[in-house]
Amino acid sequence: MRPLWLFSTPSMLAVMGCTATIGPPVDGQGGDVPGGSASGGSEQGGPGSTTGVNPIGKDLSTVQLDCSKPNVGTNPLRRLTRSEYAHSVRDLLGGAVSSDSLPPDERVGAFPSNMAPVAALDVEDYLETASQVALAATANTAALLGGCDPVKQGNSACADRFIATFGAKVQRRPLDEAETSAYKGLFTSQSAVSFANGIRVVLEAMLSSPYFLYHFEPSLAGALAPSPLDGPARAARLSYLLWGSTPDDALLAAAQSGALGNADGLRAQATRLLADPRARDAVGTFHVDWLGVDELDQVTKDPKIFPQYDASMAAAMQAETARFASYVMLDGDHRLTTLLTAPYSFPTGPLLKLYGVTAPAGTNTPIQLDPTQRAGLLTQPGFLAAHAHANQTSPVQRGKAIRALLFCTPPTPPPPTVNAVAPDPMPGTSTRERFALHTKEATCAACHALLDPIGFGFEHYDAIGAFRSDDGGKPVDAKGNIAGTDDADGAFDGAVELAKRLGQSKQVAACVSEKWFEFAFGRAPAEADACSVQATQKALAATGGDLRELLLALVTTDAFLLQRQP
C-alpha cells in the first residue's frame, strides 16, 4: 500500500535539513504583505524548493529533503466553520449561536473546511444569524462601547470608537479608511431611530462582512513566489488553530507590534494560547473530528438492542473524548503514547453505567478504568460506536478507521458491484464467523486481509463501546493481526495490546502530524509542504511524541508563515 520507492530515490539524498525561514517583521497595519522578496531565502519571483515528495501517508522524519528554499502549498480561501463562527461570537460578544443556523460545513479529509463558493441560501443564513446576534448583543450597548458615554462624549465619537475598536476585533485586523467610513455612513443612516439602533445595524454588518466570514489573508495579485503572511493573518491562524476561535486583544496587539514576525514571538504567543482554557476547544475538536466521533450526531443504534443509546449518550461520548484528549495534551504529559494507551478517562452521565464505574469527587480527576479492558482514545465508546453498525460491531469499519486515521493509508474502496451490507446478527454465531466470507473469497481477501484482522481486535466492545466477553453465545475471540505497515506488523490479542503497538509506531506518529496539518490549514499537505510536514514529524520524534512540541513546531513552519498563489 505504502510506496517504498521514496526512500531509495538517489536524488533525495542531498542537501540540508529543513528549517523554517521567517521573514522580517511584517507590518500589522492592515495593509498588504510585502512582495515575494521579503521571504527569507526565496528568490524574487522564483518558486520555492521542490522536494518532489508528496508527504501524504509518509514518515519523513528521517528522510533527506531539499528544504533550502521556503515553500508552501496553496491555501484556498475558506469560510469559518460552524464551530469557528460560534466560538468567535462567544468570545467577541458572549452570546451563543446554534450551529444549525449556519450553512453546513464541508468536510475535507477528517476535518470541516469550507472552500466552496456560497449560494444565496448560505448568505441568507449568515445575514439572519448576524441580525439575531446583533439584536441580542445590543440589548445593552454600554458593554460594547469600551467606556465611551454617548451622553457625555457624543453619539458620533462613541460610534467612531466602536467602529475602530470593535471592528478590528470582529474583522481580526485594523480597519482601513474605506471600511471605517462605510461603517460610519451606515451608522449615520441607521441611528436616526436611536443610537443603539445604529450600533446594532453596524454590528450586524460587521458580522456579515467577508473579513469576518472568511479566513481572509490579503495577498498581492500575481505574486507567485512564497511570501510572508502579515501579522493579523498570522494571529488569526494561531487562534483558530489553538483555540478554534478569534484572536484576543493581546494577540491582535502582538500582530500590530510585529511580534509575530519571528519564531520566538510566535512560539511565545502559541505557548500563551495553549495555557488558556480556549485551547481545550481546539484540542477537543481535533480529536473528536479526527476519529469521526463527531459523526455520532447522525448515528442511530437499534433501540431493541441498545435501548440506552440516545442523543444524550452520544453527546456524552463526544464530550468524553474531547475532555480526555485535552487533559492529556494540556494538563498531562502531552504524549501521543498516553493518548493511545492511558487506562483512565472522563466518562459522565450515561457513560458511567456503560463503563461500570462511579463518578469521582474531584472535577479534574480522571476515572481509573480496568487496564485490561481500556487503553486510550481507541477503546472509548465514542470511537467504538462511531465505527460500528446500528445492530452489531463492524470489524471492517473499525479496521478501516485504524488504517485511514492512524496509519494514513486508507484502503481501496470496494468495487461498486459489491453488496456492502453487513450480514445481520444471528443467534449462535459470532461476528467473526459472519465476516469470515471476506477472507474466504479471493476477490475480497486482498483488501480485507488488511482491515478485518485489525477490526477483530475490537471484538470485546459492542456497537456502543460496552465491554463484553460473550458474542452470539460464544466467548469473544479478539485476536488480530496488522499487515502492510512500516513498523507495526504482527499478531496481537485485543485492543489494549493493539493500542500499545500503535502508541509505539513511528508511522502512527507521522500520521498524527499529517492530521494536525490538515486541521491547521483545512487541506491535505501538498508537495510544496513536504518540508513543513517533515518539521512537525521531526519535532514529535525528537521529543518522544510530545504533541505540544508538534504544535509549537507547526506554527513556525513555512506552511504556517507563508502563502503562495496557485
Tell whether residue 413 is a contact of another protein (CB under 8 A): yes
Segment interacting with another protein, rule: CB under 8 A, options 218-226, 251-259, 266-274, 365-373: 218-226
Residue of the chain from 39, 83, 114, 337 that contacts another protein (CB under 8 A): 114
The pairing of beta strand 474-475 with beta strand 470-471: antiparallel
Residue 335 backbone dihedrals phi, psi, to 5 degrees? -90, 140
C-alpha cell at 275: 495555557
The length of the chain is 566
Minimal distance, residue 285 CB to another protein, in Å: 15
- Among residues 376, 375, 322, 371, which one has the least CA distance to residue 348? 322
Cell of 210: 467577508
Select the residue interacting with another protein from 6, 12, 38, 136 (CB under 8 A).
136
* Spatial distance between the Cα atoms of 232 and 253, rounded to a whole number of angstroms: 9
Q: Within 378-397, which residues bind another protein (CB under 8 A)?
A: 390
The answer to whether 394 touches 449, Cβ cutoff 8 Å, is no
Calculate the CA 323 to chain-centre distance. Answer: 15
Kindly write out the interface string for residues 162-201 of this chain, putting x where it contacts another protein by CB under 8 A and - elsewhere. ----------------xx--xx-xx--xx--xx-xx--xx
Provide φ and ψ at 490, rounded to 5°. 130, 170
Strand 470-471 to 367-368 pairing: unpaired
Q: CA 310, CA 481: separation in Å to the nearest integer? A: 33
- Nearer CB in complex with another protein: 206/354: 206
Q: Which of 23, 40, 55, 112 binds another protein (CB under 8 A)?
A: 112
142 binds another protein (CB under 8 A): no
Of all helices (H) and strands (E), which one includes residue 499?
helix 495-504
Residues 501-560 that bind another protein (CB under 8 A): 524
Q: What residues between 292 and 351 interact with another protein by CB under 8 A?
A: 298, 300
From candidates 7, 38, 54, 122, binder to another protein by CB under 8 A: 122
- CB nearer to another protein: pick between 298 and 363: 298
What the block records as the C-alpha cell of 283 is 484540542
Q: Which of 108, 268, 367, 449 binds another protein (CB under 8 A)?
A: 108
Asked if 76 touches another protein (CB under 8 A), the answer is: yes
Applying CB under 8 A, the span of 210-218, 234-242, 428-436, 442-450 interacting with another protein comes to 210-218
Judge contact between 531 and 15, C-beta under 8 A.
no
Of 227, 198, 186, residue with least CA distance to 33: 227
Q: Is 74 near another protein (CB under 8 A)?
A: yes
Q: Tabulate helix, strand, coil % of the chain (nearest 5).
A: 50, 5, 45
143 makes contact with another protein (CB under 8 A)? no
Size of the residue set binding another protein (CB under 8 A): 77
- The residue (of 194 and 257) whose beta carbon lies closer to another protein is 194
From candidates 18, 22, 63, 133, binder to another protein by CB under 8 A: 133
| Interface mask toward another protein for 264-303; x: CB under 8 A | ----------------------------------x-x---
Q: Please identify, among the stretches 39-47, 107-115, 243-251, 532-540, the one whose residues bind another protein according to the rule CB under 8 A.
A: 107-115
CA distances from 380 to 385, 496, 537 (A): 9, 11, 26
